[in-house]
Amino acid sequence: MNRSLLIKPSMKEEYPTVTHGEGIYLYDKDGKRYIDGSSGAVTTSIGHGVSEIIEAMHEQANKVSFVYRSQFTSEPAEKLAVKLNELLNADEDYWSFFVNSGSEATETAMKIAIQHWQEQGYFKKNKILSRWVSYHGITLGALSMSGHVGRRERFVSILEDYPAVSAPYCYQCSLKKTYPSCQLACANEIETAIKRIGPGQIAAFIAEPIIGAAGGVIIPPDGYYQQVKEICNKYNILFIADEVMTGIGRTGEMFGLHHWGIQADIIALGKGMSAGYTAIAATLASEKVMKPILQGSNSVMSGHTYSANPQSAATALAVLQYIEKYQLVQNVKVQGEYLLQKLLFELGESKIIGDIRGIGLMIGVEFVSDKSTKRPFDKKLMITNKIVGKAREKGLLVYPSSAGQEGAHGDAIIISPPFIITKSQMDELVSILKEVVLEIQKEVGG
């Protein structure tokens, strides 16, 4: 029996034991091969076992692995901060605060936003406005911001009530409108919420540029982020972009918001920042955000023992350099377009698939019981679990997501393979997924 409870969503299920990984493949102790069709949790973007990264890790381990961030900085940490600022390519410089997970990155973003206003004497500007159908992490502050019903429900009594506005979810619009005649009603809801709560109480608005775990890849319509940014500026509210899933090339741009030419005040990064080679994440804050903090207490009121440790920083730096050196973001664009078209062609007509949508190598497949009404499957059928389980049996890993306005109760998966995937590997991925979908379709009588 598996004893590592932390990695088990279901106590009834036995997981295979991994032995090693190579490129887009993982292998278990019985020698079975799996296509890592989701890069784990949308993380292992450069693939497994890359020798250049392993060498960089080894080199740093030979120098020094750990120093306490209040006693030393290190060359890798400083270089990583410079590299992230360079990749962001914004019209002002950004500072980096290093943490260990995406949840810590969004929670630090929330704290920096609150501190930014406190340092200027605005002590009541301490709420965060967020959207439904969103996921910002599992720790209590991050979960408070998350509009993910399934992950909130057990802890709702100790969470802040931050999600207050609709997601830009055109396939299942909660406002029952259609783009473009809706005139971006979901963005305008943000203004209504700000007026209701009071701009003097809100430090920041947080959004994933493209919604991942809570919605199975939701891409907002054009104009949405321009409107969001204008509203935030009008009411003196900082804009936090949660780029934990979208950041570092996943969508075919280095950052998700680059698709719309929008600059956030604070940015949370994780996952692909180190492509799974180490646990590191970051909160990036602009010069404008940092100025009152630097002039005030001169320190961000947060930090973890492992923040900015040289071993993780050197690893993440090597990953970023690797992505640049081999122009992998360009590859994401090309391969992503092929994979999306292939999925639409092979699976678009399936009776249980309502929508296939994607950007770069971040593709969502939403399952519905009725294509015309978009009605989700009964929760008890556990369609997502069945798809993920059957795919794994056949040697394909996909990421379980949720969908629908109820947040956690609709069914969706995310397909997000490593950036290095080839055309023939994508053909194999789609062909396994097609088999799985046809079998489940038969099971549910479709």
Amino acid found at 38: S
* Stretch of 97-105, 297-305, 342-350, 420-428 contacting ligand PLP, by CB under 6 A: 97-105
Site for ligand PLP contains 242 (CB under 6 A) = yes
Site for ligand PLP contains 270 (CB under 6 A) = yes
Site for ligand PLP contains 276 (CB under 6 A) = no
Closer of 137 and 364 to ligand PLP (Cβ): 137
* Stretch of 221-229, 237-245, 343-351, 416-424 contacting ligand PLP, by CB under 6 A: 237-245
Site for ligand PLP contains 147 (CB under 6 A) = no
Number of helical H runs and strand E runs in the chain: 13, 14
Site for ligand PLP contains 137 (CB under 6 A) = yes
Q: Give the β-pairing of 163-165 and 127-131.
A: parallel
Min separation Cβ 41 and ligand PLP, Å = 6
**CA dist., res. 412 & res. 389, Å (int):** 13
Sign for the CA dihedral angle at 98, 103, 107, 113 comes to: positive
Min separation Cβ 34 and ligand PLP, Å = 20
- How many residues line the site for ligand PLP (CB under 6 A)? 16
Site for ligand PLP contains 103 (CB under 6 A) = yes
Site for ligand PLP contains 101 (CB under 6 A) = yes
**CA dist., res. 301 & res. 262, Å (int):** 27
- Phi, psi angles (nearest 5°) of residue 287: -55, -40
Site for ligand PLP contains 416 (CB under 6 A) = no
Structure tokens at 157: 């009594």
Min separation Cβ 247 and ligand PLP, Å = 9
Helices 310-325 and 328-347 cross at an angle (nearest 10°) of: 70
Min separation Cβ 284 and ligand PLP, Å = 14
Query: Distance of CA 173 to CAs 203, 218, 260, 349, 395, Å?
Result: 27, 11, 21, 22, 35
CA 305 to chain centre: 24
Tokens 């106590």, residue? 11
In the set 36, 107, 208, 411, which binds ligand PLP (CB under 6 A)?
208
Site for ligand PLP contains 107 (CB under 6 A) = no
Q: Quick check: 57 and 279 in contact, CB under 8 A?
A: no
* Stretch of 130-138, 221-229, 350-358, 396-404 contacting ligand PLP, by CB under 6 A: 130-138
Structure tokens at 59: 């080199």
Task: State which H helix or E strand residue 345 sits in.
Answer: helix 328-347
In the set 244, 248, 267, 396, which binds ligand PLP (CB under 6 A)?
244
In the set 204, 213, 397, 432, which binds ligand PLP (CB under 6 A)?
213
Site for ligand PLP contains 354 (CB under 6 A) = no
Q: Quick check: 135 and 151 in contact, CB under 8 A?
A: yes
Site for ligand PLP contains 106 (CB under 6 A) = yes
Site for ligand PLP contains 245 (CB under 6 A) = yes
- Phi, psi angles (nearest 5°) of residue 161: -90, 60
Q: Which spans of this chain sit near ligand PLP (rule: CB under 6 A)?
A: 41, 101-103, 106, 135-138, 208, 212-213, 242, 244-245, 270
